[in-house]
Each structure stands twice: as C-alpha cells, then as structure tokens.
Structure 1
Amino acid sequence: MSTSDPLSRLLNLYLLLSNASRPLSLAEITDHIGGFPDSPEARRQAFERAKRDLKALGLPITTVAHPQTSGDAYLVTKKEEARIAPMLNLDEAFALAGAMASVQFGNESGLDSARKLGCVWEGERIELAYVPRVPLVSQFFEAIQRYRVVRARYHNIERRLLPFGVLFRWGTWYLIAREEGQLLVKSFRIENFDPDIEITSEEFDPGDRVDVSTVLPESPTSVRWEDEEIVELEFPQEILSIVIDRLPQLVVNTIDNKTVHASAAISGFGAFVSILIEFGDQVELVAPPRARGRAFDLLSRSLEFQTVVLEEETEYIEEYQSLIAAELSPSTKKAGRESGTSKFKRIMSLLPWLYRNPNTTTQEISLLFGIPESAVGGLLETVACCGLPPFTPDQLIEIIVDGDEITARISEDFASGLRLGATDLFVAALSAKLALAHGDFVGQKELTSAIGKIFDVFGLDSDLSDSLVLDVEGTRNLTEIRRAQGDKKSLRFGYFSLTNQAFSERHVDPLRLFVRDGHWYLLGWCHSSEALKTFRLDRVAEVVVLDEAISVFPTDEELNATDFNFGSDQDVDSVLLVIDSNSSWRIARIPHRTIQSTRNPSYLVAEVNIVSKIWLRNFVASSVGDVKVIFPNEVVAGLRDALFKLRGRFG
C-alpha cells in the first residue's frame, strides 16, 4: 500500500520490520510499503528520520548485514515484553492503571507508561503522590534489578559500582552501592553523577541483602560531614513533637514555664541551620557561641550574594521580559498541527487497549486518550488502512467506524504497543510502591500480581522491598488521621504554619492524604478558615479524633482543582533568579523553567515558582550564597531586608 502520510508510513514500517522473517534492505522495505520519495538520497533521509522517530518512541530499528547481499539490512527485534499487554488480566490491568494514574514522576504522569501496557485508567485522576524526577534514577534501578555492574563518573572520579538500591530521602534520590573492590556500602547523590553511565553486561553476586534504609541517618543534621557539635536550643512546648520530627536526635533537658530547653548532637551544620530558618523565631539557638557565629557566617554569604550587582544582571532581566512579552503575543498562541510521530505514539498506546476493548465509542477514546472527539474517526480510519504486505483485508488492522460506534479486531501481533523503557519500568515500580504504602488503594493483591508478571517478563527481580526505598516524612500521626478519615470524623490538632511561622489550633475535616516531595500531606476542610487547606504532617502536633462527623463533602473535581501552593500569601507567583551552575540541583525539585543564557557559563538563569515570600527567604538563606533573586524589583528589595533581619538573630 503506497502512502506518503507520515502516520501510515511509520506504522507500516514498524509492522513490517517487527513481523519480517529476516532482515530487509531499504530497497525491499520501500518495495513492500511504498510511501517514500523516489530520489535515492531523499528516500534515505526519510528512512533515517523514521528510524530516529521510532527510536525516540522506544522502538529502535537494528542494522545488520543483509543475509544475501551483505549490505545493510534492518529489523525490529520482538522481545517478550511485547506480550505483557495480553498477559495481564482485566483486574490486574485496572489496578496497575489506577496506581500509575495516581503518581506524578516529575513532569510526567504514570499514565503514559500505563498505556504502553494497554492499561488505561477510566476514572477521575487523583494525584496521591508526586515524586521529583532526576536523570539516571531509572537506569540505576534497572541495573539493580539485573544485578549489573555500573560504570559511572561521580564528582569527576571514574567508578565501578555494585548497586543495591535507590533511596528517596529528604526529598532527594540516592544510589546505595559499593565500589568494586571495597567492602563499605555508601550513598551517592544521583544528581551528582555525570549523565553518561554504562550498565555493563557483568553480573555481580549481591550476597546478603543490604538494608538500604539504614545507609543514611534519619536526619541530614546527623550526616558525618564534619565533627559533631552539641548545640542548645529553646522553643515553646507546644511544638516539641514537631521539632523532634525534624531533629530526631534531640534530648529534652528541662521544661520550664512551657519552654523546652534541649540539646542535640549536630554533624550536618548546614542542614541544621536550614531547619532553624524554617522555624523562624520559634526555635532559638542559645549556645554555644561558636555555633551562633557559624550560622551568622552562613547567612552572611547568602546576604552578600543577594546584595552584589552582577555585570550581566540587566541583560538577564531584559531577556526574560522579552520572553514573557513574546508568550503573551497572540501570534505565538496559534495551535500547530499534530505531527505524524505524535499521532503514531497515540495509536501505539491505543492499539493494546483496543485489543482488550474491541467495542467502544469515539467519546470513550477521546476521554481516555486525549484525542479530540472530532478527530477520532479519521485517525482510526487511517490506521485501518495499515497492516502487512500484501495489504489484503486479512492483513490489515481491522477497525470499523460506524458513526460514534467503533468495532476493532486487533491481533496479538498488532497489540504489543510501545516498547517499555527503563523509565516505564521504574514508574511502574514506583507507582506500585507508593500505592501499596498509601493504605487507601483498592486492588493491592492485583497490583502486586501485575508488577510480578511485568518484572518476570524482563527477567528482573520483582522484590522491591530493598531495591526501592521511599522515606516519606510525617508518619507520626498517619494512623490516627487514616482512622478518622475512614470513620468520617473530624480532627483537632496544633499546626505550625510555614506561611506565617506561627503555631495555632485547627479543627479540620480530613478528606485526602497524599505524598509530595517526600512529605505526607493532608487535604482537609479547615473550619477555622472555612476553606480547603493542605497541612504537612510533620508540622502537625498531637492529633485528637473528635466524636464529630465530617460536615463538608467536596466533590473529587473540587478537590482536584485545589491550588496546592499550600497557603500562598504572595502577590507574585514566580521570580527570576541566578544560580551557581554547579548548584542547579537546588531548583531540580521546584517548578521552574530555565531561561537559557550563554553570557556567563558560571551561572544558570531560571524562573522559579514560589510558595510565599517567607518560603523564598528560607530558600535563598539556605542556599549559602549560591542563589540570587534579580526580579521583580519589589521582591528583591524585600528579600534583602528579610535576610538581614534573619541574620540578626545570630549576631
């Protein structure tokens, strides 16, 4: 079948090469499916573009020697993973889709990975967890499950690593591994690896299981970066449990007139100062004088960088303002046509689902796959003209569109969908881990079975107990809150608010628990403010379950529409900042976009979304001279004053 339509050409090319009995030359390919330019050079260029498009979608074309001419020939190797979609039963597919729909991994929803498995979530998408994404974490995870040695460069040193697990703690991803030839198991911050790592073919014997969760201490203030120092603190008794959550090594010495006098052994001083900053004037560093002086010096570095005027600062601001003006221009808002590659990706996600659901409607496909309802029929009619040579009816993808009704007869050969990559496997494992830990997830048995089948197909160890550890902070009151939520009872608790850095009593109807950036949060109706509010659980003091029924029942739509700025009080929602290029990890977990500039490679310029002015002050203060806010001007002026006052607490 000859067609120059990019979608048809990609689909026919993939189907031909993945079902061919031997590798095919470019001449044989073009003879079989047509649709390529007549000119040999243009034909070659079109084929190379198609190869790149398929590789980007996880469907690489392999180049081998032609069995007869010894010239180049091509094939797509069908792997066993192509059989995952038909392998999962409906309950397993539904459970897996529900788990993956509830997890956001960086900017990507697990829904895309679920669709590759033919698993589509048909309900309301409820985000139960958001976990920041960093490069390499999924590749390291695959190496762990395969027991493969990894070659990687860390802090400019080439290393051969035996990886045991990935650990998410303190909002950061760590690799837990042993360097080859050494006995000590270490933690490596994944953000600090060079981007090019090699998963070798060398397997290693993991020996006894490594308890990944114990390699790092509970608190970053206990990391052995320096000699331990004993500090003395004072704070109100009402926030005692909250302070202990942040400083587990705290020792209470006395309690006098509702004031706690305590001490703590600190070896991670920078992390300790960040915690002090977070509590504002509620926690006082009393002694020793040396510790107060160190805190003063750290904050001085942040204040000095915020005060200095960079040579390129005005140009950065002008570049940013030009970008904003261009985005607001009507000429930039014209919607472009969807590319053939994008349509192909949609189709390859849709075919496994049609294999399971042969009778459907245009409305259902539009809702589940984000395709405009008016475009569904035309897209499927194009697909129905694709298949295998000689393109007789029995070799075509059988899809009948009758008005809004759709009938599909998809063979297993056409139902494999997109190839799963390392990121898809990691998202599946991450989603399962978070969903099973959540407690409210329905279908835990089916989800466990689905993960087991997927990992077995890939020859991976499906035991995730040690290889993937998620340390989510704020579990102290989790059981009581879940009980109240299940019984539909109200709660009363004390809460320390980051927005105003004050402690207050709250009366709350618990509605939804979720995880974000390594912390448990409660979304509930606050009777004190008569509004939906979010509460970070490690800032919640003791919880009391009231003998009082929940009285407010927002819809899922209302809950999903809640602004998760967590009590934002600012009149601006983003700022422009300059950051030391070696410290870009500081904004990796914050919603931002890079404003590309090559004027000074030492700096990165970025627009960063902010929660509140207090949050911004704390973020800049904790950066120890790596971050400078340069726009808007009123925020810059207020930030300098706030940093000066904050430093004054220690000097």
Structure 2
Amino acid sequence: MTTAPSASRASADRLGRVLNLVPYLLARPGIAIVEAAADLGVSEKQLREDLELLWVCGLPGYGPGDLIDMAFDGDNVTITYDAGIGKPLRLTPDEALALVVALRMLAETPGMANRDAIERALAKIESAAGADADAPVAVRMTGNSKKVDRVRGAVERGRALRITYYTASRDQTTERVVDPIRVVNVGGWAYLEAWCRRAEATRLFRVDRIDDWTELDEPAAPPAEARPHDLSAGVFRPGAELPLITLRVGRSERWITEYYPCENVERGTSGEDWLVTMRVTDLDWARRLILGLGPEVTVVSPPELITGIREQAAAALAAYSVPVD
C-alpha cells in the first residue's frame, strides 16, 4: 500500500530508484531480492514492483530485443540484457542542446526544488556540449505567450477581469468576473490566481483555458479572506470532500498511478492487476478519463460511475448502428 501526496515527486523518486537499480543488479548477478531490497533501502514489495517496471523499459522500438531483460531463479534475479544502459552516454549535438534547454527552463521555474542539483547537471552538460550549448534558442514555458503577458499586465495594473473560461473537469465554458491576485507557473503551466466573484472563493485559472477576457475599468478588489493557495504540492490537492473512486488497473495502464495523485495502490488478487483508489474533482471528469483509457481499466466503485460509463458506452455503440444516408 502506498500513499502519493505528489504524483510528480513520486515519479521522480521512482525514476531515481530504477536508474540506480540496473547498474546495481549488473554488478551482482543472481542476488537475492530480499538482500537487494535491504541494500537499496526499499521494501521487498517495492523492489518487485520496480523490477516489473523494468520489463517495459528499453530502447525505441520496444520489441523483444530492445527491452531490458531479466532472469529469475526462485527469489534471485539477474539482468540478462541491459539495453545499452551500461555503456557511456554519447549525446548528439541536438540531444545535448535539448537537455540544456530543458534544464535551463527547470532552473527558472518558480518554486522548483533541488535547484542546486539542476544547476550542477546543467553546468556539466554545458561544459560537454561546448559551443553547441550557446546556440540561440527561444525557451517558453508551456502556456507562456502574449496572453500570459497581457494577463500579468492586468494583475500589475490592478484591474478586474471579465473572463470566458473552459473548465476541463466539467467540459463546460462559463463567464465570470475575477479580481486577480497573481500569475504563477506550476508544473509548466501558467495560472491566474484570482478571487472569483461567482464562486466567492479564490480560484486558479489555467491561462491557456481562458478563451477570452476583458480588462474592466474597476480596480481589482479581492476581499480580506482571499488567500493565495499553497502550491508546493501542485495545483490539485484532493480533499475528503471529493468523490472517491476505485479502479482495477492492468499492467499497461499503471502509468495513471504515477500521473495522478492516488490515495491507495495495492496489488490485486491475480498479482497482475492493481487496485487504485483516487479522489477526483467530479464523476463526470472520471467518466471521461476512464472512457479514454484502454480495456485494462475496470471501475470497481462507486456504482453511479459504473452506470454512467455503461450508459455512455451503450449510446456510442448505438450511434454506430444508425445507417448514414
């Protein structure tokens, strides 16, 4: 059972473990899993899950000869094919430049943790890339555009805004008047944080989803109770008031446990599937998410979500049965 307060942090931690796992196992063929878990400071259960992830890691092409391969002898494991991870990395100029750009963008992201590690890695790659690292490149955060600059200007001028906003979780467009507080970048997206007069609460609006806006003559006047959100753990912070759903997830769809905050992840009775419990903004959003996933995801609860998915799937099938003139 695991708890995931931050999907991005959990993904980063697991990436570090898996990258360290391959050279460790290469140096210790036939090591007992319980011994490896103790050396690496993880539980035996976690190590087995990381080994399962390694089965689908490797080189582009992702065929049998491209993926990392292992052999198990009882509770002992040996890496039989490392997919080239043991070889020194040689970057092409384009690859080096792409890494430099990405690391520079990370270093400039507000609130980024481990900035020292990012700057050390950037210095090493810039040194190795030489003159290629100085190539003229325009770097823009996702969602950064003239729209962001104009919204930021409205914040600086202290003007209220009338915005037309698309809410992805409800697949709905609404119009509302907001009193801007600040513009922030979180997870590569630009957000307007403002007091929403319609909701009578502080809200975050992703700038790329603001379809239209008008700067009003009246000044922005957030009330005294308006407080900026704590964004250290990301934008979505699920609380007990949100709907709780449980999914049965097969191997090919386990990525959702890394991408979305989960309250609980445990191995199913078959050993191949996982039971994933997570909170969602609303059941309509969950329905759209699940309908877009593959056949290896099954809804366990709540019953109303199961019914909603069944009805929409039946309606979609019925639409295909109608002849087209």
Change (3 A) 1:464 1:620: farther
> Who is 1:608 aligned against?
278
- Give the whole-Å Cα distance in 1 for the aligned partners of 2:238 and 2:246: 21
> Who is 2:120 aligned against?
454
- Which runs of structure 2 are paired with 1:158-177 in the superposition (5 Å)? 158-159=65-66
2:253 to 576, 580, 583: 583
Which residue identity is paired with 1:202?
P
> Who is 1:482 aligned against?
152
1:623 equivalent to 2:293? Answer yes
2:9 to 107, 126, 132: 107
- Give the whole-Å Cα distance in 2 for the aligned partners of 1:434 and 1:464: 20
Deviation, 1:557, is: 5.6
The 3-state SS of whatever aligns with 1:461 is helix
Change (3 A) 1:498 1:472: same
Change (3 A) 1:557 1:484: closer
- Give the whole-Å Cα distance in 1 for the aligned partners of 2:259 and 2:141: 16
The 3-state SS of whatever aligns with 1:588 is helix
1:514–1:522 contact (8 Å) kept in structure 2: yes
Deviation, 1:470, is: 8.0
The 3-state SS of whatever aligns with 2:259 is coil
> Who is 1:204 aligned against?
90
- Give the whole-Å Cα distance in 2 for the aligned partners of 1:642 and 1:558: 38
Change (3 A) 1:429 1:493: same
Deviation, 1:622, is: 0.4
Deviation, 1:499, is: 4.4
Greater C-alpha Rg: 1
- Give the whole-Å Cα distance in 1 for the aligned partners of 2:295 and 2:275: 15
Deviation, 1:453, is: 6.7
The 3-state SS of whatever aligns with 1:478 is helix
1:153 to 47, 58, 63: 58
Change (3 A) 1:477 1:626: farther
- Map Cα deviations across residues 549-573 of structure 1 (whole Å, 9 max, x no partner): 11015579653399955999x9653
Change (3 A) 1:560 1:594: closer
> Who is 2:167 aligned against?
497
Change (3 A) 1:196 1:619: farther
Change (3 A) 1:431 1:546: same
Change (3 A) 1:198 1:613: same
Percent identity between the aligned chains? 17
> Who is 1:597 aligned against?
267
2:163–2:213 contact (8 Å) kept in structure 1: yes
1:576–1:631 contact (8 Å) kept in structure 2: yes
- Give the whole-Å Cα distance in 2 for the aligned partners of 1:507 and 1:434: 29
1:477–1:543 contact (8 Å) kept in structure 2: no
Which residue identity is paired with 2:109?
L
The 3-state SS of whatever aligns with 1:596 is strand
Change (3 A) 1:643 1:514: farther
- Give the whole-Å Cα distance in 1 for the aligned partners of 2:141 and 2:12: 15
- Give the whole-Å Cα distance in 2 for the aligned partners of 1:470 and 1:486: 21
Deviation, 1:592, is: 1.1
The 3-state SS of whatever aligns with 2:110 is helix
Change (3 A) 1:501 1:513: same
- Map Cα deviations across residues 235-289 of structure 1 (whole Å, 9 max, x no partner): xxxxxxxxxxxxxxxxxxxxxxxxxxxxxxxxxxxxxxxxxxxxxxxxxxxxxxx
2:198 to 524, 528, 540: 528
2:110 to 430, 435, 438: 435
Change (3 A) 1:105 1:596: closer
The 3-state SS of whatever aligns with 1:560 is coil
Deviation, 1:589, is: 0.7
2:262–2:278 contact (8 Å) kept in structure 1: yes
> Who is 2:28 aligned against?
none
Which residue identity is paired with 2:88?
E
Q: RMSD in angstroms over aligned alpha carbons?
A: 4.7
- Give the whole-Å Cα distance in 2 for the aligned partners of 1:137 and 1:429: 20
Which residue identity is paired with 1:603?
D
The 3-state SS of whatever aligns with 1:522 is strand
1:499–1:567 contact (8 Å) kept in structure 2: no
1:525–1:532 contact (8 Å) kept in structure 2: yes
2:176–2:197 contact (8 Å) kept in structure 1: yes
The 3-state SS of whatever aligns with 1:477 is helix
1:523–1:532 contact (8 Å) kept in structure 2: yes
Deviation, 1:474, is: 6.7
2:247–2:276 contact (8 Å) kept in structure 1: yes
1:632 equivalent to 2:302? Answer yes
Which residue identity is paired with 2:120?
I
- Give the whole-Å Cα distance in 2 for the aligned partners of 1:521 and 1:645: 36
Q: Which runs of 5+ in 2 are unaligned?
A: 1-5, 20-56, 68-80, 128-132
Q: TM-score, normalised by structure 2?
A: 0.59
- Give the whole-Å Cα distance in 2 for the aligned partners of 1:435 and 1:536: 16
- Give the whole-Å Cα distance in 1 for the aligned partners of 2:246 and 2:314: 20
Which residue identity is paired with 1:601?
G
- Give the whole-Å Cα distance in 2 for the aligned partners of 1:505 and 1:496: 9
2:107–2:118 contact (8 Å) kept in structure 1: no
Change (3 A) 1:617 1:505: same
Change (3 A) 1:559 1:578: same
Question: Highest relative contact order (Cα 8 Å, sep 6+), 1 or 2?
Answer: 1
- Give the whole-Å Cα distance in 1 for the aligned partners of 2:196 and 2:203: 6
The 3-state SS of whatever aligns with 1:435 is coil
1:517–1:589 contact (8 Å) kept in structure 2: no
- Give the whole-Å Cα distance in 2 for the aligned partners of 1:546 and 1:650: 48
Across the two proteins, how many residue pairs are aligned to each other? 254
Deviation, 1:629, is: 1.1
